[in-house]
Structure 1
Amino acid sequence: MKLLSNRQLRSAKVTSVRWQRRAMFLMGGVAVGAAAVALATLADWAQDALALVLAKSRYASLVVTPLGFALSVFLTNRFFRNSQGSGIPQAIAARQLTDQAARGRLVSIRIAIGKVLLTLLGLLCGASVGREGPTVQVGASIMFAIGRMSPRRQPGLILAGSAAGVAAAFNTPLAGIVFGIEEMSRAYETRASSLIIAAVIAAGLTSLALVGNYDYFGSSSTMLRNGTDWLAVPLCGVVGGLAGGLFSRLIIEMSRTFANGPMRAIKRHPAVFALACGLAVALCGLASGDMIYGTGYAQVKAALESGTPLPWSFGPLKFAATALSAISGIPGGIFSPSLAVGAGIGSEIAQLFPHAPLGAIMLLGMVAYFAGVVQAPITAFAIVTEMTNNHAMVVPLMAAALIAHATSGLVCPEGIYHALARGFLDQSRSQHEGTETTKPAPTS
């Protein structure tokens, strides 16, 4: 009887631990979903506020944007270090680190707060940034903080937070799961898979409860009609893949140049460099008729719904503004801006197919460019399909994404997020080695 009692106690203890772990993932998913909705709502308000300023004077951006960039970089370096950029590289690096203190320097509640505030500042001053990448770092930070409250190490929490962030930010639960597998982990983790899915579901349900069901770019039924239209698939795949690879190569090389190359002197005056980048973004905005500021979501959605082509300059100027925002050092993502650049590319390619539906080719441009930038083709077509609720375009979107992925690899051998994550890993390891060398020698 005593032996049976001990077995029952051990079984009850194991069951309790399992349910605690499940509750942790579910609780984290709800928190990530709420944070994603809050950031989305505040981001819309920030862009509306910028529109009001520009309505009074278009040239206000020549002052607001550079000063906003400089202030954002100052606050980042002074109070919220490691919150710069998209935030996805930090989440990837945190997953690969084993030291909890090193992880905490990349994903923490402090960083999450700074990420939200400074992303909003970037949108308020006209930066070409998105909120989805920041939501990934915020989600990873929330999950990591919840995990630290547990006496036992909880594997998969950062991955679950990142996947839940994408799911809640775009209202795309399937894409969130695919993103976690393909981009964050580059592998399928059987042990944590059900818990990750549970966190994504919790985040998605929270988003639905707060803002209702919606399609990010509206519901679209457009599709390719005949054999000639299908020629746009390889064309968008090649052009979008090359452009996406060029963007990634540019950002990666610039980050390495700032770290170790001849331009590392810029690191001593980051706010001045950010000011110059902000001025260049403002000039791009003036040249585009104020169309390239912010996420690009409103412009692309309007074009898809109305069937009206985007201006020919939209794609190139959005590309330049997004690159300048990315290298400036301000917090902000590249998800939405990349989709907007791809829409501009698709809009131009559609001019070669006058009888093809514009919306369908714009979607091909979006998925191709995005796949070229992040080199995650499954995530790319899953996101675009879910964002438009267009299942008739699944096959051509898959084909364009795969072509773009292969083409992008000719220009940039490695995806942008993993290449940038290596910089955070090197930084964390050098800090750890510096700590080890400064430790006093043990006394005998």
Structure 2
Amino acid sequence: MKTITQLKKRLALPQTSWQLCLLAAIGGFASAMLVVLFIFTIEGVQSFFLSEKDDYSSLTPLSRFQLPIIGAIVILFFAWLTGYKYIRSGIPFVLHRLKIANGVMPFRNTVNQFMGSAVALIAGFSVGREGPAVHLGAACTSYIGNKLNLPYNAIRSLSACGIAAGIAACFNTPIAAVLFVMEVILREYKVHIFIPVMIAAIVGSMTTSTIFGPTHEFGHFTAITINTDHYLALALLGIVLGFFAFIFNRYLILVIKHSAPFHIVSRILTAAIITGALGYAAPYAMGTDLSAINFSLQNNFQLQLLLGLLVAKVLMTIFALGLGIPGGIIGPILGIGAIAGICGSVITSYFMTGDISASDFALMGMAGFMAATLNAPLAALLCVVELSDQIEIIVPAMIVITSACVFSGQFFGNRSIFIMQLEVQGLPYRRPPIEKSLQRIGVIGVMDENITLLHKATDETITTALINQNPQDNVICKITSTDNQTEFIFYQQSQAKIDDVPTIEKHTLIPLSSQSTLAEAYLLLVKTRAGGVYIYQDNPDEIMGIISFDYIRSYLLKGNTY
């Protein structure tokens, strides 16, 4: 027991520790295996009615119309089992839980995420796998942390590790996964979190590489042929993508906002009918992104066909995600960006001589559209580098990304689609700077264990204890009432004096779980700005240590926990 307590104390501090790294590796493997099960579920069911995975063109037009409606009914069935109370899922919900609940994910939301997203991807909705992978990874690692009763700041770090492992397992892009977590999810760079996140991403990528092979689904991109003559065209492409990202984000948020008053049943069925109708005419727009990208690369000189596919893909994605179909957004925006980039290559070929590779512009479109839509330039850059396995793509991609992000943000005020989703759905995702700072430290790691515990509170015993105590000890009296309610009273000498005799202050300590962080302690004491909290492990009647408001004030002023 003492060893476990020492482990928790170590994990409660914002320091790099081998214990957290080990837990990150274990959690990363577990998250990756859950993602593997998710992928096998999708591909296993698809193999019964598709000639190839995500190839909905092999179905008859009527089947393509009916399939999303059948899928919507199944999704609603799982939602009905939970009373429609646990249908929120995906990256915005994970962001909300990470900021407000230290990454602890409700079990029923996770079940709905797994089953609902699997059905949505099987049925051809234009959603991605990475949203479920993020949710499942965070849920898996936070479950491990909760089972071990780890401090909440450690569970929060483990949730970030699970997210990185889930993305790395989904795309086989560990570096992009790490940057996505730091840039989009946590929005901070701390070494004690950065290293475990890297370990989890490596383990997640290695796990799926061992099972599915070392290559990824985007390995068909050819060697890059872009040169300096194309840089102006790339800058213009970035500007167009930035404007396109603003339009995409704006209308997705409008759909979410205006559909919110309607019941989930009508919203899901409406999304299914729209997907089925568009899939009837444009089968390659169904599913995540591979089908649309492959078709675009094979038909890259037919501009009208590409534009029609682009419009269908955008509408499918906006209505599917906006009306509540469970799934991710990154896969579809990679597909939309690739099609837009190929359209750009066709248009550019009218004004430039020489060979212009549609594959190159597809990668540029993916980078620029992802960066501007998510407001995540570094994650987008590393994503296309890893997907293409080409280091030479860095400079051209940076040109597209910077022009897209600057134009989208400067002229249209575009922001991350995740933040916009959180705001329109009324999900809080921000904490004041003081709470954010205190959230990084678990109370078990900094509690004061030097206690003189009294079982009888009389003026004589209290005065004697205060005079004779070790200067570092805290005088606390345990009082049990007739109805077996236990209170801990904290006594200390006041600065105020009566006839040159120090007066004695007493404060009733507030119970606080050993899993909590300093942020929770601060919120309990901030109104009175005095007294303290006592820390307990399993039994609220047993005190482990205390944290006074004076200590929290000292930490905020001095910036250290020692």
TM over 0.5: yes
The residue number in structure 2 matching 1:291 is 284
The residue number in structure 2 matching 1:133 is 131
- Specify whether residues 234 and 96 from structure 1 end up closer, same or farther in structure 2 by C-alpha distance, changes over 3 A only: same
- Amino acid aligned to 2:79: T
Aligned-partner Cα distance in 2 for 1:372–1:16: 36
Superposition pairs for residues 115-126 of structure 1, below 5 Å?
Answer: 115-126=113-124
- The question of whether the paired residues in 2 share the 8 Å contact of 1:88 and 1:137 is answered with yes
The residue number in structure 2 matching 1:38 is 37
Aligned-residue offset at 1:303: 4.8
Superposition pairs for residues 323-338 of structure 1, below 5 Å?
Answer: 323-338=318-333
Larger strand percent: 2
- The question of whether the paired residues in 2 share the 8 Å contact of 1:66 and 1:278 is answered with yes
- The question of whether the paired residues in 2 share the 8 Å contact of 1:47 and 1:123 is answered with no
Aligned-partner Cα distance in 2 for 1:81–1:391: 46
- Amino acid aligned to 1:213: P
CA RMSD of aligned residues (A): 3.0
Aligned-partner Cα distance in 1 for 2:129–2:196: 25
Aligned-residue offset at 1:78: 4.4
Q: 1:353 aligns with which of 348, 351, 372?
A: 348
- Amino acid aligned to 1:97: I
- The question of whether the paired residues in 2 share the 8 Å contact of 1:364 and 1:400 is answered with yes
Aligned-residue offset at 1:301: 4.0
2:99 is equivalent to residue 96 of structure 1? yes
The residue number in structure 1 matching 2:25 is 26
Unmatched 5+ stretches in structure 1: 1-5, 430-444
Residues 335-363 of structure 1 deviation map (CA, whole Å, 9 limit, x = unaligned)? 11111111111111111232311111111
Give the structure with higher Rg (CA): 2
Aligned-residue offset at 1:426: 4.2
The residue number in structure 2 matching 1:425 is 427
Aligned-partner Cα distance in 2 for 1:308–1:23: 47
Q: Report the TM-score when normalising by structure 1.
A: 0.83
- Amino acid aligned to 1:209: T
Helix, strand or coil for the counterpart of 1:36? helix
Residues 4-35 of structure 1 deviation map (CA, whole Å, 9 limit, x = unaligned)? xx9x9998997899554333211100011112
Superposition pairs for residues 320-399 of structure 1, below 5 Å?
Answer: 320-354=315-349, 355-399=355-399
The residue number in structure 2 matching 1:239 is 240
2:250 is equivalent to residue 256 of structure 1? no
- The question of whether the paired residues in 2 share the 8 Å contact of 1:315 and 1:343 is answered with no
Aligned-partner Cα distance in 1 for 2:221–2:357: 11
Superposition pairs for residues 148-297 of structure 1, below 5 Å?
Answer: 148-153=146-151, 154=154, 155-218=156-219, 220-259=221-260, 264=261, 266=262, 269-288=263-282, 290-297=283-290
Larger helix percent: 1
Superposition pairs for residues 102-113 of structure 1, below 5 Å?
Answer: 104=104, 107-113=105-111
- Specify whether residues 330 and 181 from structure 1 end up closer, same or farther in structure 2 by C-alpha distance, changes over 3 A only: same
- Specify whether residues 428 and 243 from structure 1 end up closer, same or farther in structure 2 by C-alpha distance, changes over 3 A only: closer
Aligned-partner Cα distance in 2 for 1:142–1:350: 42
The residue number in structure 2 matching 1:72 is 75
Aligned-partner Cα distance in 1 for 2:334–2:296: 13
- The question of whether the paired residues in 1 share the 8 Å contact of 2:368 and 2:400 is answered with yes
Unmatched 5+ stretches in structure 2: 350-354, 432-562
The residue number in structure 1 matching 2:454 is none
- The question of whether the paired residues in 2 share the 8 Å contact of 1:307 and 1:358 is answered with no
- The question of whether the paired residues in 2 share the 8 Å contact of 1:126 and 1:294 is answered with yes
- Specify whether residues 161 and 309 from structure 1 end up closer, same or farther in structure 2 by C-alpha distance, changes over 3 A only: farther
- Specify whether residues 13 and 395 from structure 1 end up closer, same or farther in structure 2 by C-alpha distance, changes over 3 A only: closer
Q: Report the TM-score when normalising by structure 2.
A: 0.67
Helix, strand or coil for the counterpart of 1:41? helix
- Specify whether residues 420 and 307 from structure 1 end up closer, same or farther in structure 2 by C-alpha distance, changes over 3 A only: same
- The question of whether the paired residues in 1 share the 8 Å contact of 2:96 and 2:428 is answered with no
Larger RCO, structures 1/2 (Cα 8 Å, 6+ apart):
1
Aligned-partner Cα distance in 2 for 1:394–1:77: 47
Aligned-partner Cα distance in 1 for 2:346–2:332: 22
- The question of whether the paired residues in 1 share the 8 Å contact of 2:234 and 2:399 is answered with yes
The residue number in structure 1 matching 2:145 is 147
Residues 373-417 of structure 1 deviation map (CA, whole Å, 9 limit, x = unaligned)? 211111112111111212211111122112212222244532111
- Specify whether residues 78 and 428 from structure 1 end up closer, same or farther in structure 2 by C-alpha distance, changes over 3 A only: farther
2:62 is equivalent to residue 59 of structure 1? yes
Aligned-partner Cα distance in 2 for 1:113–1:415: 27
- Amino acid aligned to 1:247: F
Residues 173-204 of structure 1 deviation map (CA, whole Å, 9 limit, x = unaligned)? 00010001110011102222211111112212
Aligned-residue offset at 1:419: 2.3
- Specify whether residues 395 and 19 from structure 1 end up closer, same or farther in structure 2 by C-alpha distance, changes over 3 A only: closer
- Specify whether residues 383 and 82 from structure 1 end up closer, same or farther in structure 2 by C-alpha distance, changes over 3 A only: farther
- Amino acid aligned to 1:333: G
- Specify whether residues 227 and 94 from structure 1 end up closer, same or farther in structure 2 by C-alpha distance, changes over 3 A only: same
Q: Which deviates further from its counterpart, 176-185 or 8-17? A: 8-17
Aligned-partner Cα distance in 1 for 2:45–2:430: 33
- Specify whether residues 371 and 70 from structure 1 end up closer, same or farther in structure 2 by C-alpha distance, changes over 3 A only: farther
